[in-house]
Structure 1
Amino acid sequence: MAVDIFIKGGTIIDGSGSRPRYTGDVAVADGRIVEIGTRIATPAAGVVDADGALVVPGFVDVHTHYDG
């Protein structure tokens, strides 16, 4: 299975609190995360080098300063 985007080598924080942050990869297909791990070998259409960046899969920041 090929994926659309492969985010490689970022510091992953899954937000569950069940494990500490770790360096790993995230594979995305059709707008959905299909795999998270330390050694993903799935071919991808695009690769993002996330070395030195935080990767927080599934996080949505709904904060806004909009005062309608």
Structure 2
Amino acid sequence: MFDVKIVGGTILDGSGAFRYKADVGIEGDKITAIGDLSAADAKKVIDASGKFVSPGFIDFHTHSDLSLVYDKYTRSRIYTGVTMDVIAN
């Protein structure tokens, strides 16, 4: 059983491969399966129909230094898919 199953989304995996439709199964903090997971059970199901599903994005040229003072959890970055900033270049 998955902790989280993301269903119906279009996968952009960052490999350079063309996007494709698939489900994503997550156990703990790891993706453990990608494909047709319609028969699998999950504690939580997220419907991603009409949306893209991708790993986080790294921003190598950011000016987020000052925004950390105002938002120490960097919610504005996470909401846009950025999961890592390289600051103080």
Length-normalised TM-score, structure 1: 0.80
The structure that has the greater radius of gyration is 2
Quote how far apart the aligned CAs of 1:52 are. 0.6
CA RMSD of aligned residues (A): 1.5
Q: In structure 2, what is the equivalent of residue 29 of structure 1? A: 27
Structure 1 unaligned spans of 5+: none
Deviation of residue 65 (structure 1)?
A: 3.5
Aligned to 1:10: 9
CA distance in 1, matches of 2:41, 2:8: 15
Cα deviations by residue, 1:29-51 (Å, 9 ceiling, x for unpaired): 011100011x1122100100000
For 2:9, the aligned partner's letter is G
Displacement of 1:66 after TM fit? Answer: 2.1
1:67 aligns with 2:65: yes
Counting aligned pairs with the same residue, the percent is 43
Q: Which has the higher helix share?
A: 2
* CA–CA distance in structure 1, aligned partners of residues 65 and 14 of structure 2: 29
Measured after TM superposition, the shift of residue 55 of structure 1 is 0.3
Runs of 5+ unmatched residues, structure 2 = 67-89
Deviation of the 1:23 alpha carbon = 1.1
